[in-house]
Structures are given as C-alpha cells and as structure tokens.
Amino acid sequence: MNPVLLTAVFQSAADVANQFNGYLMLGYFVMWLIVMAYIVTLVVRQRNLKQDLQLMQQILQEHEEESES
C-alpha cells in the first residue's frame, strides 16, 4: 500500500489538529507584537510630552522670576 495513503489512514485526530500549529503561534506572535509596539509608542510619546511640558513650564517660570527681579 502507498505510504502516503497509509499515513492518511492512520493519522490521528491530534495530528490533524496540530498540523498547522506553527502558523497559529506565528499569527498570535505577530498580533501581540503589533499590540505591544502600539502600547510602547503610546508610553514613549506620553513620556516625551511630559518632559516637554515640564521643560516649558520651567522656562516660563524662570522667565517670570527674571522679569520680577
């Protein structure tokens, strides 16, 4: 009997279920990579803006102090 046919006959349900698990893992990995990348961009942008905000406030404060003195 043809070995390919033998494999098909004796292939278990578990083999069929798991035959494309590599793609499943790849799919979830890439999706989570996109999610994490977006979260990182949000965090980085927020951190940079907070730094800018503090810097601007500091400049304004220093300017007010100079003009007072």
Partner 1 sequence: MVTSPRFDKVLKILNWVAVIAVIVTLGIIFFYAPTERTMGNVQRIFYFHVGSAWVGAVAFFIALFGGVMYLWKSEKKWDTLALASVEIGLVFLTMATVAGSVWGKPAWNTWWLWSPRLTLITIALLTYAAYFMLRGAIEDDDRRARFAAVYVIVAFVTIIMAYISVRILRDIHPVVVGGVAESAQGAEEGLQEFSGLDSAKMGMTLMASTMTFSLLYSAWLMNRIKLQRLSDAVNDLKMQVTARLQGEN
What is the identity of the amino acid at 6? L
Q: Which residues from 3-62 bind partner 1, rule CB under 8 A?
A: 16-21, 23-24, 26-28, 30-31, 34-35, 38, 42, 45-46, 49-50, 52-53, 56-57, 59-60
User: Residue 1 or 69: which CB sits closer to partner 1?
Assistant: 69
Grouping H, G, I as helix, E, B as strand and the rest as coil, residue 69 is coil
The answer to whether the Cα torsion of 7, 13, 17, 22 is positive or negative is negative
- What are 27's two structure tokens? 């799919």
Rg (CA), the chain: 30
User: Residue 9 or 17: which CB sits closer to partner 1?
Assistant: 17
Binding stretches for partner 1 (CB under 8 A): 16-21, 23-24, 26-28, 30-31, 34-35, 38, 42, 45-46, 49-50, 52-53, 56-57, 59-60, 63
